[in-house]
């Protein structure tokens, strides 16, 4: 009995000590990382906060890459694809608020607000010509909204396994419950534990040579900073409403559209149905996972350039 009491006392002492020590370590390490990993692009004023925009290359097209929900470090995540596309095009990576090196915002994460922010960011770095929107995942609905609101400024849409209007089944009740639980994870330093012990879930495979050791190291740090921040979680909560907001939007008949999607995707019919009325559209089915641009960046870049040159 005395032994059990002693164990209990030890636990009461050491558990809080370990928790506080971990929280302190996570706080110090995060601030250290933010001090040494500097933004490679331009910090642009957008609705009172700074948004990080990275540009590379020159050419006949300006291709704007937009990240999927929860892609914590878009510039690094898209790096191999950017390197390929930028050989003959200007490529711009937008890191929305709460992503990458961008600040966070108090503006609601509605499709309207996010689209306005992307538009202002592009305008503020001097992009006046038509752009090719290249969204991954959830940014598909932002691209549809953008093309509908600013039709004269969109040359084409090339989506990478992206979410479209009509895909409400993409969101379930479990998704909402998970989001609520995630709100406490950031405070407790859970992202650092997750990414440290299960990096394969959040980072490109080490076998992909296009991602350097330095790239992966910085991507790991930024994933820890951003994985459960308030903007990302709020965007997650708004996702169903944002899909519903775009549900009745029909792309202009003459807008060129291309979608890459994973072989066996249950959304394949939606991609085909959504583009059926378009004068010019293409579908490309690729064997892989949701982050097609990790493994298939060369293939995606070549097919995208071929599509835009037609």
Strand partners, 63: 91, 132
Do the beta carbons of residue 227 and residue 70 sit within 8 Å? yes
pLDDT digits (tens, 9 = 90+) for 192-238: 877 778 777 778 887 788 898 899 999 999 998 888 899 999 998 89
CATH superfamily of this structure's domain 37-309: Alpha/Beta hydrolase fold, catalytic domain (3.40.50.1820)
pLDDT digits (tens, 9 = 90+) for 178-197: 566 676 777 777 778 777 78
| Of 188-192, 273-277, 305-309, minimum mean pLDDT range | 188-192
Eight-class DSSP state of 119: H
121-143: average pLDDT: 96
Do the beta carbons of residue 163 and residue 137 sit within 8 Å? yes
Please state, in angstroms and as integers, the Cα–Cα distance from residue 175 to each residue in 230, 238, 270, following that order: 16, 11, 21
Spatial separation of the C-alpha atoms in residues 139 and 155, rounded to whole Å: 17
The two structure tokens encoding residue 52: 């990080």
The pLDDT, as a whole number, for residue 27 is 73
- Model confidence pTM above 0.85: yes
Closest alpha carbon to 44 in 53, 34, 57: 53
Strand partners, 65: 93, 134
Strand partners, 64: 92, 133
Question: Does 16 have pLDDT greater than 90?
Answer: no
Question: Does 170 have pLDDT greater than 80?
Answer: no
The two structure tokens encoding residue 305: 């350039």
Eight-class DSSP state of 92: E
128-155: average pLDDT: 97
Eight-class DSSP state of 22: H
Please state, in angstroms and as integers, the Cα–Cα distance from residue 294 to each residue in 7, 79, 98, 210, 252, following that order: 49, 9, 22, 9, 30
> 10 Å Cβ neighbour count for 26?
19
């Amino acid at each position: 009995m005395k032994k059990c009491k002693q164990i209990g006392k030890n636990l009461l002492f050491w558990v809080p000590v370990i928790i506080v020590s971990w929280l302190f370590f996570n706080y110090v390490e995060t601030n250290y990382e933010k001090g040494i990993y500097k933004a490679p692009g331009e910090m642009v004023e957008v609705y009172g906060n700074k948004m990080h925009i990275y540009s590379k290359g020159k050419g006949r097209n300006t291709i704007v890459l937009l990240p999927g929900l929860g892609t914590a470090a878009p510039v690094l995540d898209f790096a191999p694809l950017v390197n390929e596309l930028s050989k003959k095009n200007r490529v711009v990576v937008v890191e929305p608020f709460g992503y990458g090196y961008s600040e966070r915002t108090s503006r609601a994460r509605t499709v309207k607000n996010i689209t306005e922010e992307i538009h202002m960011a592009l305008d503020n770095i001097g992009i006046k010509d038509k752009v090719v929107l290249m969204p991954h995942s959830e940014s598909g609905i932002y691209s549809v909204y953008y093309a509908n609101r600013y039709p004269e400024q969109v040359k084409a849409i090339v989506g990478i396994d992206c979410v479209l209007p009509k895909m409400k089944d993409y969101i379930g009740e479990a998704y909402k419950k998970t989001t609520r639980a995630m709100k406490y994870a950031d405070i407790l330093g859970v992202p650092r534990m997750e990414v440290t012990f299960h990096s394969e879930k959040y980072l490109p495979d080490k076998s992909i040579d296009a991602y350097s050791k330095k790239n992966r190291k910085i991507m790991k740090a930024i994933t820890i900073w951003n994985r459960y921040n308030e903007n990302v979680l709020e965007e997650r909560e708004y996702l169903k409403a944002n899909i519903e907001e775009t549900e009745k939007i029909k792309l202009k008949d003459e807008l060129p559209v291309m979608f890459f999607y994973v072989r066996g995707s249950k959304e394949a019919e939606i991609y085909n149905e959504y583009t059926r009325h378009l004068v010019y559209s293409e579908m490309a089915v690729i064997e892989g996972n949701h982050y097609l641009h990790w493994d298939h960046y060369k293939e995606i870049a070549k097919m995208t350039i071929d599509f835009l040159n037609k």
